[in-house]
């Protein structure tokens, strides 16, 4: 696809690699895409020669190219910034935008399932920060069926229930509650490791989560972390946001017990784990 905004990223795939899996995901996401007042124009190529693709992209020396049978997907976006560069209410609002965007995609059948801080980006527009949820490489759709049992994610941000031997063996379905919990771990991680938009240079909490051996010790570290929440010290710029994280983590802690009853209703999970703990001004978008 081609747009007036600068080209940031191009990915080349053979048509057989991309066509079967990504078409449905792209269609779902495409319907929801807006880039300010300039929506992107989509140019689709099926078994297009390199010359045709280059010409459409404005490369006038295309006739020199070889005739390679490929399918080109060009992802065009504004230059994005990590939400970790933000502080205070602006950071929490960006995090919440991504949470609600993910919720909307989940309702439409798009399963991201690999949530981490590096996937939470955004850009400034008209005095506001517009959050953007990225990296759908490992995503699937509800209709994919068995793929919902794959153990996918970045260890420090995966739900505790997905770090069990049963989940690793592929016997636990990835449900909305797991992604909701991942967003809470992301919020917690940033509140403890970033100050005034910058990663702490030394004595960073939770570094051990990055070095623990495989999936066996990581759940132990995370479980013990929830038990000692009151002793954790967020960075000065994230104290208020860590209060939100603590309330969310307290719910996770109650879910972790052997006799805990966890709702299977996604809307109940969304409210109980996330929305009920977010300040009203952030929910209403009243950010200075």
Digit-coded pLDDT (tens) for 18-77? 444 556 666 666 665 544 444 555 545 444 445 554 555 555 554 454 454 555 565 566
- CA dist., res. 160 & res. 232, Å (int): 19
- CA dist., res. 111 & res. 42, Å (int): 23
Whole-number pLDDT of residue 65: 47
Whole-number pLDDT of residue 9: 37
- CA dist., res. 100 & res. 106, Å (int): 10
- Give, rounded to a whole angstrom, the gap between the first and last alpha carbons of the chain: 36
Report whether pLDDT(284) > 60: yes
- Answer yes or no: are the C-beta atoms of 156 and 219 closer than 8 Å: no
DSSP alpha helices (H): ranges in the chain? Answer: 15-32, 50-56, 88-107, 165-168, 176-193, 214-227, 239-255, 266-269, 280-283
Whole-number pLDDT of residue 164: 80
Q: Return the SS3 of 175.
A: coil
Using alpha carbons, list the distances in angstroms from residue 13 to 42, 71, 132. 17, 6, 24
């Amino acid at each position: 696809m081609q747009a007036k905004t600068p080209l940031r990223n191009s990915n080349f795939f053979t048509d057989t690699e991309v066509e079967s899996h990504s078409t449905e995901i792209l269609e779902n996401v495409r319907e929801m895409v807006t880039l300010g007042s300039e929506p992107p124009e989509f140019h689709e190529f099926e078994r297009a020669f390199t010359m045709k693709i280059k010409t459409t992209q404005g490369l006038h020396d295309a006739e020199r190219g070889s005739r390679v049978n490929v399918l080109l997907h060009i992802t065009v976006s504004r230059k994005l910034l990590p939400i970790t560069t933000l502080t205070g209410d602006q950071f929490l609002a960006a995090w919440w935008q991504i949470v609600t965007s993910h919720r909307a995609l989940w309702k439409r059948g798009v399963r991201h399932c690999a949530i981490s801080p590096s996937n939470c980006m955004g850009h400034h527009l008209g005095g506001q920060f517009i959050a953007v949820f990225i990296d759908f490489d490992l995503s699937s759709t509800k209709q994919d069926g068995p793929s919902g049992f794959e153990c996918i994610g970045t260890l420090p941000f995966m739900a505790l229930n997905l770090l069990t031997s049963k989940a690793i063996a592929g016997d636990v379905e990835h449900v909305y509650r797991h992604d909701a919990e991942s967003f809470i771990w992301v919020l917690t991680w940033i509140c403890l490791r970033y100050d005034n938009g910058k990663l702490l240079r030394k004595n960073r909490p939770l570094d051990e989560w990055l070095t623990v051996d495989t999936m066996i010790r990581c759940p132990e570290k995370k479980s013990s972390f929830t038990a000692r929440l009151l002793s954790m010290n967020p960075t000065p710029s994230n104290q208020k946001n860590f209060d939100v994280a603590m309330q969310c983590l307290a719910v996770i802690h109650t879910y972790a017990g052997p006799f805990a009853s966890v709702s299977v209703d996604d809307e109940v999970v969304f409210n109980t784990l996330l929305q009920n703990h977010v300040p009203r001004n952030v929910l209403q978008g009243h950010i200075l």
